[in-house]
Amino acid sequence: MLPAQARLRRRPEFSAVVRSGRRAGRPTMVLHLLSERPEHSGGARASTGAPAGARAGFVVGRAVGNSVVRHRVTRRLRAVVREELHRLPTSADLVVRARPEAAGASSDVLRRDLGAGLDRLLGRVPSA
């Protein structure tokens, strides 16, 4: 599971990433990445001074399947994103929107699609 501070929760946060971020489509998901989050989206963390890290949010709509299927897809996506979150800049926000094909995909397929999408989105950033 992703820690609470690593998750997008509010609609304006999701909207900012989808509207202003870069997008990469894969067969099972669409990734939206905003490398620099706006200053005002820090929420309570900004006032407490806690370190900000990369955050991720998930959109799994009804087209993916019924409630049981959507929750299963969300859990799998959360697990594969947790493994790849270290690749993102600390001020980045990522939104993962599941496509209907994600319902029948294994975790390995989701992991491969996420990795390929992140490679495409982070391609401009020189690797360390």
Q: pLDDT for 66-119, tens place per residue? A: 999 999 999 999 999 999 999 998 889 999 999 999 999 999 999 999 999 999
Q: Is residue 64 part of a domain?
A: yes
Q: What are phi and psi of 9, to 5 degrees?
A: -130, -30
Predicted local confidence at residue 39, as pLDDT:
67
Q: Is residue 8 part of a domain?
A: no
Domain holding 70: CATH number? Answer: 3.30.230.10
Contacts of residue 125, defined as CB under 8 A and 6 or more positions apart, other chains included, come to 89
The model carries a pTM of 0.82
Task: State pLDDT tens for residues 19-59.
Answer: 998 999 999 999 999 988 776 555 444 444 444 689 999 99
Predicted local confidence at residue 47, as pLDDT:
43
Rg (the chain; Cα; Å): 14
What's the number of domains the chain is made of? 1
Domain carrying residue 31? 27-37+50-122
Sign of the alpha-carbon torsion through 41, 11, 8, 36:
negative
